[in-house]
Structure 1
């Protein structure tokens, strides 16, 4: 029976997608057809199979999950989401070092959803993705992490500080030292802003290149399996991805110490 139910869900994209539609509530056949491709007869053939296996039922002209369907999809839905994330960009994910992500968040990787893989050419290697730069111009909140030095970041984030954008930044000790020593003006802007907070970690604590969460996107740079930063980044505009990224940021933040602000900026 277990194999039969799993086959019912996974051996047909129409059946799987119909069940995913009904997770959100009852739907008419017209509403189901709007989200699926194929003829009415082809869709109805798959709905009939779902009926026969007791996964859906019809009431007042609408289809909905049965209790068995709800139980099954509650377990299967996270798996489907995870497979969608990993299979769409399989070559990227299989070559990433995900050791910095706690198990609780790895279990939720499906929440990242549809992503853009940013793979810059040689002339733009150390520049943030344009999607992130555009987002920074209008966002009211930013949480960001860097374990490598991004040449444009001191100016980008000092501008946010001067605009009193709410932002928190996690830096490795070596990146923080360079920011403080070589970019004094920008550092002072960050440290005197009432809405900015800096957190520092030892260089070998966090095995993650970068992480930025704004009001409308999340940008993540994982190291590859060789522990190298190859400049490839994941960008997602999904709200669930932003929540996932923020939970990852908070996980790191809890381990670190905050840079105390002083009344007078450094000279």
Structure 2
């Protein structure tokens, strides 16, 4: 029975997608078909299997999870979501040093949802992704953590401060000192802004390359397992990813010292 249920859930994308959809509530065959892009006959074949396994039931024209289906899907959903994140970019995740991510957040890695892996060409290595720059022009709230120095970032920081965006910025001490000593105008704009808050994180704390959370975007970067920063970044526009990113940022905020 254990093997049958595992096979029922995982050996068909249509069955898996149908079960995940029904976690949000009952649905008709047409709604299921529109959601998972299959023909009626193909979906009905999978519905029949789910009915036989006792994972769903039919009431009038709608299908819904049974109590058994609800129990199983609540346990399996985080695994499915984590697999979807990792399987889509296996080589990237396998090469990252994720030691900076607290265990509770690793358990929620599926919250990142559909991600884009940004890999800049040689002409744009030291520039933030276009998606982030567009988001920064529109957002009213930003949380950013950097453990490396980005040459274009001081101007971005200062622009956010001048616009009085609700801005929280954490820098490692070497990055902070370079900003303070070499970019005085931009540094002053940050510390003088009533809506900007600057924090310093010590070097001995294990950390990612960067975290940026705006009103509609999460950006992450990690060092690779050799300890190098290769400029590859994760971008997600999903609400669950932004919540995950906020929690990741707060983890480092609790470890940092506030400057302003």
Which TM-score bucket, shorter chain as reference?
Answer: over 0.9
Quick one: distance in 2 between partners of 1:247 and 1:96? 20
Quick one: distance in 1 between partners of 2:183 and 2:83? 44
Quick one: distance in 2 between partners of 1:146 and 1:211? 7
TM-score, length of structure 1 as denominator length: 0.96
Question: Deviation of residue 31 (structure 1)?
Answer: 0.4
- Aligned pair 1:165/2:165, yes or no? yes
Quick one: distance in 2 between partners of 1:246 and 1:35? 30
- Aligned pair 1:241/2:249, yes or no? no
Which string of whole-angstrom CA distances, capped at 9 and with x for unpartnered residues, describes residues 35-92 of structure 1?
2233222211111111111110111310000000000000011110000000000010
Moved over 2 A (4+): 36-39
Task: State how 1:47-62 maps to structure 2 within 5 Å.
Answer: 47-62=47-62
Partners of 2:99 and 2:206 within 8 A in 1? no
Gaps of 5+ in 2: none
Residue number in structure 2 paired with 1:229: 229
Which string of whole-angstrom CA distances, capped at 9 and with x for unpartnered residues, describes residues 149-196 of structure 1?
111111111011011100000101000001000111110010010111
Quick one: distance in 1 between partners of 2:187 and 2:149? 14
Quick one: distance in 2 between partners of 1:42 and 1:200? 56
Residue number in structure 1 paired with 2:197: 197
- Aligned pair 1:125/2:125, yes or no? yes
Instruction: Give secondary structure in 2 for the equivalent of 1:159.
Output: helix
- Aligned pair 1:79/2:74, yes or no? no
Question: Deviation of residue 14 (structure 1)?
Answer: 1.3
Partners of 2:201 and 2:252 within 8 A in 1? no
Quick one: distance in 2 between partners of 1:238 and 1:37? 21
- Aligned pair 1:206/2:206, yes or no? yes
TM-score, length of structure 2 as denominator length: 0.98
Root-mean-square deviation over aligned CA pairs: 0.9
Quick one: distance in 2 between partners of 1:42 and 1:238? 30
How many aligned residue pairs are there?
Answer: 260
Quick one: distance in 2 between partners of 1:38 and 1:205? 49
Gaps of 5+ in 1: 262-267
Question: Deviation of residue 202 (structure 1)?
Answer: 1.4
Residue number in structure 2 paired with 1:153: 153
**In terms of mean alpha carbon deviation, does 198-207 or 135-144 score higher?**
198-207
Residue number in structure 2 paired with 1:265: none
